[in-house]
């Protein structure tokens, strides 16, 4: 009699007992995914919470082989109270990006200690997917996207393994990778066609106040800009439609400082939106796209002077551009600028504000202004006299000037005579004001390195600069850069940032003629171009870019977008289904191939399998017609059913099945 009933009942019993059992290799995959996806968050959450999380992860890892070390419910309850206490002591509230990340990571670490059943694996898996998505609140680089994709593949392999009981982790990883590859066309279709809706402000992730973003500040004090001289961090990138302006015209306008107490310079307190009525532009117009990195403020560093800009921007009364909606996040803007312009007349209030002095000038200052004909000469003549004084006297440009805490301007002019761009700019403006000439300090960036691969400019924090503006009758605000009088190479040539960092900023190092062709620099520029295209084409693919792209394709209304999206998804679904069905028909299960050989042998013996007949029923008929084959047929059937339908067949069952079918003589 065929023994399928007995082993079948035994299999049901085993399945029932193992329904909630966890395979160690599944847990290893899961814990690997959890650790990898949380690793980048180490820099985003306080270190005590990182210690708590990775301690829980290590504890659960040991529990795979030594289950007795796992904590019971009481210990987990105490650990949960401790985690809650840490969260409240290390954060001022529960709102914000960093606080939310800390809560999720802490909850995930504690949940690891409670993994006992398959539903626990599912719950942890879903939590890890959320933590993976939270990475993009901090970084949206291509490297982070690739890293998150890799970890999500490991996590998906965990779900594949626990549902299919695949014999090896590498098989589950291969299956997960195939699933993700099949999903990529769907993701691309949704990315391009799904309508982009701007979320209301209350739904956006809150940036924490202590978020560390380098860049220019809202005040200018001794050393504030020189601190950025060795920073390779990107500030923004610019792609011109055509040839860019000459190097000495690349002034990217930022905050303007009008008020000083003699040491610190600050922005005007009552800035308003500027009228363009008096602005006139002439000369060459430069069209360009500016891709700005995340920063603390809503400032947009347009090429001085911007004539046309996005509706999301506004021009302040000091001609600085600010964003209405995109403070603190990366953004791209289309701009048109003219390096030659006339700002027109000055208002009485603006004139008074930009002639302000912190007190009575010292006799030495007054004597210097008188010597340089500041009181009786024309403003244009005085400007040339001051610049000539900087060139002729022993002034020098230094990235590491000595501290000048008391009376920094007077100390710089008469004693130290060595300084950074901000020292020259503030001293120049101060002398102009003593001569009763309206003047102010402008900060921003100057220059930029051309990426020869992508043909765009890279402006880094090391390009931070300060210059001045002087108001002249009939010309308006005129840019004057005192640094050009002392270190013209700083304005006219590119900075060799790599060598400057290597020397600790002891001196200004410009790029020599053959530097652009060096192998390492070319490789760096290639990678920067890839990152630039990623930021422009993927990260900043917003509603405006989507509308332009779809309009070019003739897709206008919302209904048309949805119909195109559904049609594209339907076509891709049909193509994938056809490919999968064809692949399955071409790649039969090895156990099925061997069983077909068995069926062919039985057909030759006069017992052919019927259409739709199962292995068990076929074995019963063979018993009736060929009782002498009973034992061997039972074993072949048991092996085949185990390989075909059992979740965890023995590793050598297929080999044994092949041997028994080959040995069967009929």
Q: Quick one: pLDDT band at residue 328, thresholds 50, 70, 90?
A: low
Q: What pLDDT, on a 0 to 100 scale, did the predictor assign at position 480?
A: 96
Residues 552 and 512 reside in one and the same domain: no
Domain for residue 11, yes or no?
Answer: no
Q: What pLDDT, on a 0 to 100 scale, did the predictor assign at position 494?
A: 66
Tell me which residue of 478, 490, 377, 489 sits closest to 429, measured CA to CA. Answer: 478
Q: How far apart are CA 247 and CA 337, in angstroms?
A: 15
| Cβ-based neighbour number of residue 565 at 10 Å | 17
- Mean pLDDT over residues 324-348, rounded? 85
For residue 424, give every residue at least 6 positions away whose Cβ sits within 8 Å of its Cβ, in sequence order, or none: 390, 395, 482, 483, 485, 486
Hunting for tokens 């700083």 — which residue is that? 490
- Mean pLDDT over residues 80-98, rounded? 77
Asked if the model's pLDDT at residue 16 lies above 50, the reply is: no
How far is the CA of 157 from the CAs of 15, 39, 127, 150, 340, in angstroms? 22, 19, 16, 11, 60
Q: What pLDDT, on a 0 to 100 scale, did the predictor assign at position 515?
A: 46
| Cβ-based neighbour number of residue 173 at 10 Å | 19
Residues 550 and 609 reside in one and the same domain: no
Of 89-103, 325-339, 555-569, the one with minimum mean pLDDT is 89-103
Domain for residue 214, yes or no?
Answer: no
Contact 241, 320 (CB under 8 A): no
Q: How far apart are CA 503 and CA 173, in angstroms?
A: 47
Residues 100 and 246 reside in one and the same domain: no
Percent of the chain with pLDDT strictly greater than 70: 83
Asked if the model's pLDDT at residue 436 lies above 90, the reply is: yes
Hunting for tokens 């860019």 — which residue is that? 244
Q: How far apart are CA 437 and CA 431, in angstroms?
A: 9
Residues 409 and 304 reside in one and the same domain: yes
Where are the alpha helices (H) located in 113-232, listed in sequence order? Answer: 118-134, 142-164, 169-193
How far is the CA of 331 from the CAs of 32, 419, 541, in angstroms? 35, 34, 10
Asked if the model's pLDDT at residue 4 lies above 60, the reply is: no
- Preceding peptide of 305 cis, ω within 30°: yes
Tokens linked to 442 = 């402008």
Domain for residue 147, yes or no?
Answer: yes
Domain for residue 206, yes or no?
Answer: no
- Mean pLDDT over residues 20-24, rounded? 67
Residues 233 and 188 reside in one and the same domain: no
Identify the three-state secondary structure at position 478. Answer: strand
Decide which of 514 and 618 is more confident: 618
Mean pLDDT, all residues of the chain: 82
Q: What pLDDT, on a 0 to 100 scale, did the predictor assign at position 97?
A: 76
Asked if the model's pLDDT at residue 18 lies above 50, the reply is: no
Asked if the model's pLDDT at residue 172 lies above 90, the reply is: no
Question: What is the distance between the terminal CA atoms of the chain, rounded to a whole angstrom?
Answer: 19
Asked if the model's pLDDT at residue 505 lies above 90, the reply is: no
How do residues 74-85 score in pLDDT, each as one tens digit? 988 998 898 888
Q: What pLDDT, on a 0 to 100 scale, did the predictor assign at position 285?
A: 96
Q: How many domains does the chain have?
A: 4
Q: Quick one: pLDDT band at residue 458, thresholds 50, 70, 90?
A: very high
Query: What's the helix, strand, coil split of the chain in %, to 5?
Result: 55, 15, 35
For residue 399, give every residue at least 6 positions away whose Cβ sits within 8 Å of its Cβ, in sequence order, or none: 226, 229, 230, 420, 500, 505, 506, 507, 508
Tell me which residue of 189, 121, 175, 180 sits closest to 148, measured CA to CA. Answer: 180
Residues 370 and 334 reside in one and the same domain: yes
- Mean pLDDT over residues 416-426, rounded? 91
Q: How far apart are CA 48 and CA 54, in angstroms?
A: 10
Contact 372, 385 (CB under 8 A): yes
Domain for residue 400, yes or no?
Answer: yes
Q: What pLDDT, on a 0 to 100 scale, did the predictor assign at position 238?
A: 95
- Mean pLDDT over residues 315-334, rounded? 82
Q: What pLDDT, on a 0 to 100 scale, did the predictor assign at position 275?
A: 55
Tokens linked to 660 = 């028994």
Domain for residue 257, yes or no?
Answer: yes
Of 28-32, 67-71, 148-152, 225-229, the one with minimum mean pLDDT is 225-229
Percent of the chain with pLDDT strictly greater than 90: 28
For residue 29, give every residue at least 6 positions away whose Cβ sits within 8 Å of its Cβ, in sequence order, or none: 154, 157, 158, 161, 169, 172
Identify the three-state secondary structure at position 573. Answer: helix
- Mean pLDDT over residues 431-441, rounded? 96
Contact 390, 424 (CB under 8 A): yes
How do residues 43-56 score in pLDDT, each as one tens digit? 888 888 889 999 99
Q: Quick one: pLDDT band at residue 582, thresholds 50, 70, 90?
A: confident
User: Final residue of a domain: which of 127, 159, 193?
Assistant: 193
| Cβ-based neighbour number of residue 302 at 10 Å | 28
Residues 461 and 490 reside in one and the same domain: yes
Contact 292, 537 (CB under 8 A): no
User: Final residue of a domain: which of 193, 209, 234?
Assistant: 193
* Helices 630-645, 590-604: inter-axial angle, 10-degree rounding: 150
Tokens linked to 643 = 């390989």
What is the H or E stretch that residue 315 is in? strand 313-315
| N residues, the chain | 666
Q: Quick one: pLDDT band at residue 508, thresholds 50, 70, 90?
A: low
Q: What pLDDT, on a 0 to 100 scale, did the predictor assign at position 278?
A: 79
Domain for residue 213, yes or no?
Answer: no
Tell me which residue of 416, 389, 392, 390 sits closest to 402, measured CA to CA. Answer: 416
Q: What pLDDT, on a 0 to 100 scale, did the predictor assign at position 13?
A: 41
Q: What pLDDT, on a 0 to 100 scale, did the predictor assign at position 432?
A: 96
Q: How far apart are CA 216 and CA 556, in angstroms?
A: 41
Asked if the model's pLDDT at residue 395 lies above 50, the reply is: yes
How do residues 260-274 score in pLDDT, each as one tens digit? 998 999 998 766 555
Radius of gyration over every alpha carbon of the chain, rounded to an integer in angstroms: 36
Domain that residue 108 falls in: 21-193
Tell me which residue of 610, 655, 665, 604 sits closest to 633, measured CA to CA. Answer: 665
User: Final residue of a domain: which of 554, 586, 618?
Assistant: 586
How do residues 620-658 score in pLDDT, each as one tens digit? 888 888 888 888 898 999 888 888 777 666 668 888 888
Q: For residue 3, count CB atoms less than 10 angstroms from its CB and return exposed for 0-12, middle for 13-18, buried for 19 or more.
A: middle
Q: How far apart are CA 314 and CA 324, in angstroms?
A: 7
Of 211-225, 226-240, 452-466, 651-665, the one with minimum mean pLDDT is 211-225
Sign, CA torsion 101/102/108/111 = negative
Residues 286 and 395 reside in one and the same domain: yes
Residues 436 and 310 reside in one and the same domain: yes
Decide which of 383 and 27 is more confident: 383
Q: What pLDDT, on a 0 to 100 scale, did the predictor assign at position 125?
A: 85
Residues 437 and 548 reside in one and the same domain: no
Residues 577 and 595 reside in one and the same domain: no
Domain for residue 529, yes or no?
Answer: no
Sign, CA torsion 291/294/299/301 = negative
Q: What pLDDT, on a 0 to 100 scale, did the predictor assign at position 264?
A: 92
Residues 426 and 513 reside in one and the same domain: yes
For residue 298, give every residue at least 6 positions away whose Cβ sits within 8 Å of its Cβ, in sequence order, or none: 322, 323, 324, 326, 327, 328
């Amino acid at each position: 009699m065929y023994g399928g009933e007995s082993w079948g009942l035994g299999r049901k019993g085993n399945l029932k007992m193992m329904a909630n059992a966890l395979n160690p290799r599944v847990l290893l995959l899961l814990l690997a995914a959890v650790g990898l996806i949380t690793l980048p968050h180490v820099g985003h959450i306080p270190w005590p919470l990182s210690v708590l999380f990775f301690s829980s992860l290590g504890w659960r890892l040991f529990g795979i082989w030594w289950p007795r070390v796992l904590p019971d419910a009481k210990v987990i309850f105490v650990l949960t109270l401790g985690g809650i206490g840490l969260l409240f002591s290390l954060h001022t509230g529960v709102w914000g990006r960093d606080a939310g990340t800390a809560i999720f990571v802490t909850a995930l670490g504690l949940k690891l200690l409670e993994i006992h059943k398959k539903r626990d694996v599912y719950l942890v898996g879903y939590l890890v997917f959320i933590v993976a998505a939270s990475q993009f609140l901090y970084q949206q680089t291509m490297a982070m996207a690739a890293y998150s994709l890799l970890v999500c593949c490991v996590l998906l392999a965990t779900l594949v393994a626990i549902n299919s009981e695949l014999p090896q982790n590498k098989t589950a990883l291969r299956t997960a990778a195939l699933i993700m590859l099949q999903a990529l066309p769907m993701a691309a279709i949704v990315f391009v066609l799904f309508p982009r809706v701007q979320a209301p402000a209350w739904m956006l992730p809150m940036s924490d106040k202590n978020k560390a973003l380098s860049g220019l500040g809202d005040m200018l004090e001794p050393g504030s800009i020189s601190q950025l001289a060795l920073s390779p961090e990107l500030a923004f990138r610019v792609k011109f439609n055509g040839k860019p302006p000459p190097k000495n015209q690349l002034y990217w306008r930022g905050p303007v400082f009008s008020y000083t107490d003699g040491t610190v310079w600050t922005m005007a307190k009552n800035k308003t939106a500027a009228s363009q009525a008096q602005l006139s532009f002439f000369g060459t117009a430069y069209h360009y796209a500016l891709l700005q990195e995340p920063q603390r403020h809503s400032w947009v560093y347009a090429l001085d002077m911007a004539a046309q800009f996005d509706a999301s921007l506004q021009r302040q009364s000091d001609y600085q551009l600010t964003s209405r909606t995109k403070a603190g996040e990366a953004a791209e803007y289309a701009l048109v600028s003219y390096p030659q312009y006339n700002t027109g007349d000055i208002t009485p209030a603006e004139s008074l504000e930009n002639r302000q002095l912190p007190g009575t000038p010292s006799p030495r200052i007054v004597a210097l202004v008188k010597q340089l004909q500041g009181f009786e000469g024309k403003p244009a003549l005085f400007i040339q006299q001051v610049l000539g004084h900087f060139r002729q006297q022993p002034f020098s440009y230094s990235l590491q000037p000595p501290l000048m805490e008391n009376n920094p301007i007077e100390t710089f002019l008469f004693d130290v005579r060595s300084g950074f761009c901000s020292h020259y700019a503030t001293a120049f403006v101060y002398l102009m004001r003593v001569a009763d000439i309206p003047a102010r300090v402008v900060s921003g960036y100057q220059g930029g390195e051309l990426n020869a691969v992508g043909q765009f400019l890279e402006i880094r924090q090391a390009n931070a600069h300060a210059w001045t503006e002087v108001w002249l009758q009939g010309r308006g605000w005129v840019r004057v850069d005192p640094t050009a009088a002392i270190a013209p190479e700083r304005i006219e040539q590119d900075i060799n940032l790599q060598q400057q960092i290597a020397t600790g900023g002891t001196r200004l190092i410009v790029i020599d003629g053959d530097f652009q062709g060096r192998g390492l620099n070319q490789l760096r520029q290639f990678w920067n171009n890839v990152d630039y295209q990623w930021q422009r084409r993927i990260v900043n693919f917003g509603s405006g870019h989507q509308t332009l792209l779809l309009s070019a394709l003739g897709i206008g209304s919302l209904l048309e977008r949805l119909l195109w999206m559904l049609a594209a998804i339907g076509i891709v679904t049909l193509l994938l289904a056809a490919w999968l069905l064809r692949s399955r028909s071409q790649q039969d299960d090895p156990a099925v191939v061997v069983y077909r050989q068995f069926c062919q042998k039985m057909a030759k013996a006069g017992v052919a399998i019927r259409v739709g007949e199962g292995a068990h029923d076929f074995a019963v008929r063979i018993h009736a017609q060929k009782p002498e084959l009973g034992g061997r047929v039972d074993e072949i059937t048991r092996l085949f059913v185990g390989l075909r339908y059992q979740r965890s067949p023995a590793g050598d069952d297929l080999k044994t099945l092949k041997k028994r079918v080959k040995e069967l003589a009929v």
